Amino acid sequence: MTRWSSVPEALAAAGDPRSPQTATRLLELLVSDAPDEEPSAEEAVGIAAAVAAVDRRWLVTLGEDPAHPLGVIEAATAACRAWRMLTGASLLPLRYAAVELCGPLGTPDEAVPALRSARLDTFGAPDVHATLATARLHDDDTGAVRTATAASGPLAQDPLLLSGVLLAHLAQGQRVEAEDALMRLTLSEVPGVVAARVRADVSSYLALSGQWERGLALLRHATAPEPTAATPWSVLQQAVGTGQLLAEAVRQGDSARALGADILLEAAGQRLKVSSWDTLSHAHEDVTAFARALAASFDMRNGSTGVGTRVGRRLSAAAGSLGPRAYGTVTGTVADRRVLANQARLLARTREVLVTASGYGVDSVREQAMTTAEEVSQSLALVIDESQLETIVELRLAFARLLVLLGASERACRECEDTTELCLSQGWTDLALASTVIGARAAENSGATARSEHGWERAAELVGAWNVSRTRERLTVLADAIGNAATTARTMTLIAEHLTRRLTDAPAEDASDAAHEALSRARAQLARTPEPDADLVARLEAVAASLAGPEAGSEQL
């Protein structure tokens, strides 16, 4: 049995995680044949780093093979999540993998909400491959084109991106752009593990653009992708693309012509071999039958008919049948710029959603909350108007709370860090404190314990600058900004402890009143929590005992 100490090296040596053989090997190392003993702390860090380097692509590859049951995919996902949480690594790659898996798992309706949720939790550009997969799954040609256009650097030359946007350009009437992408794809080096997927997209494009003669020439003279290097899902796409190409040739009256090249497709226990002397009509029948049988194996694994239904619809497509589908894009929304510029109104809407969710639960306003969060995210990306800085800070704080409510805790952490720095640059320490503790709560929700503890340590440092003036008003502002009883109780406990320690340094009456006010507010907030924290209760009792001591009592007289 493999020892944990050798797992990182074994993961690195396994090869490209997009390969079926590599995916099976990783499954053995991390799930089925994983060592029974617990790894040491040093070993765990090394394993977690090695897993994080491959898990995004590996999980998708597992799902693209119907031989792997859903339970195996769930176990692999849980293992990757556990290793990432061990070191506080981001869980976003796993969420984007889940989005991309909606295709082979036959759950297209789950792709868009999952993508919206993951994108909202992303601090920066969303995952291109997951976005493109969702756009294609919903025939969202506008979204596919926008996704490809936004890519830059080496990613813009990714063969899967170039091939994945061919039909989208064609459907939008952008024939020149489609041919440009095809030429760039022809001149690029395509890895063997994605060759079948790329060939599928090219075949579909040539068939549906009426260039079936050119497609047959490609089939006869280009080197065929190696079946064993592709996942069954990629082989299925290749079969669909080839079926579309042969169907178009048959529709154009060329059914009796000899194929002129052998076709060999094999995946998930299904095998097809069409000889070069077979007619195009016979080859079309065999290829489409193979595609339907392979799709059925996915549906059997998934317990649905999602894959077979989509494959059947694609096989019936004909040249000239494409049009601007899903115009307006399901993969992303762009709000009116006038709406984005009115940040005061966005702040009011965000607060309304937060109040409703606190009373009736987030599910009662989830769609409204998602739409509002997306608009606020776009609004905050605009150039900051210095005259509206206070409104912007309040909007950022409310936005962070909304992100936590929607489960986008990683994004909330990053937003809070930026907001804290912005507040400190303006000398707004109370709002900086609110932003810091909201970020600490978000980190705790995402499982980043170390990051949460660091946030509370920084909050304690900010509390160290708290003075006794206007304590009542400032505590009210703080509670409104934080918006969570448990987090507010913990924050006010820090303030009460700090003010109690300051009794010997500040004017006795002012310091004592401020400490009592903080203690009272902390207790009130703690009473609002469903399960009061026993540690906070003990700390508040200690503060109360200090304030009721002989020395404190004499100062209040």
DSSP string for 215-236: HHHHHHHSPPPPGGGS-HHHHH
Do the Cβ atoms of 38 and 57 come closer than 8 Å? no
Say yes or no to pLDDT of 374 above 50: yes
Say yes or no to pLDDT of 553 above 60: no
What's the confidence (pLDDT) of residue 193? 94
Average pLDDT for 114-134: 91
Residue 264 has phi, psi (to 5 degrees) of -125, 115
Do the Cβ atoms of 99 and 130 come closer than 8 Å? yes
What's the confidence (pLDDT) of residue 554? 42
| Each residue's pLDDT tens digit, 491-504 | 999 999 998 887 76
Q: How far is residue 476's CA from residue 543's CA, in Å, rounded to a whole number?
A: 20
| Each residue's pLDDT tens digit, 24-81 | 999 999 998 888 888 888 888 999 999 999 999 999 999 999 999 999 999 999 999 9
Compare 327 and 288 and report the one with higher pLDDT. 288
Least confidently predicted of 55-64, 311-320, 323-332? 323-332
pTM of the model: 0.88
Name the token pair of 448.
Answer: 């980043």
What's the confidence (pLDDT) of residue 503? 76
- Determine if residue 259 is left, alpha or beta; phi over 0 gives left, psi from -120 to 50 gives alpha, anything else beta: alpha
Say yes or no to pLDDT of 555 above 50: no
What confidence category does residue 469 fall into, taking pLDDT thresholds of 50, 70 and 90? Answer: confident
Do the Cβ atoms of 141 and 325 come closer than 8 Å? yes
Say yes or no to pLDDT of 550 above 60: no
**Cα dihedral 408/410/414/415 (nearest 10):** 10
Secondary structure of residue 270 in the 3-state scheme: strand
| Each residue's pLDDT tens digit, 206-255 | 999 999 999 999 999 999 998 889 999 999 999 999 999 999 999 998 88
Q: How far is residue 398's CA from residue 435's CA, in Å, rounded to a whole number?
A: 10
What's the confidence (pLDDT) of residue 557? 31
Residues 6 or more apart whose CB falls under 8 angstroms from that of 182 comprise 162, 166, 202, 205
What's the confidence (pLDDT) of residue 337? 77
Compare 307 and 382 and report the one with higher pLDDT. 307
Burial code (b: 16+ CB inside 10 Å, e: under 16) for 56-81 equals bbbbbbbbbbbebeeebbebbbebbb
Angle between helices 429-445 and 471-482 (to 10 degrees): 30
Q: Which residue has the tokens 């969710």?
A: 357
Least confidently predicted of 205-209, 312-316, 466-470? 466-470
Tell whether the torsion through CA atoms of 180, 229, 70 and 28 is positive or negative: negative
Do the Cβ atoms of 420 and 436 come closer than 8 Å? yes
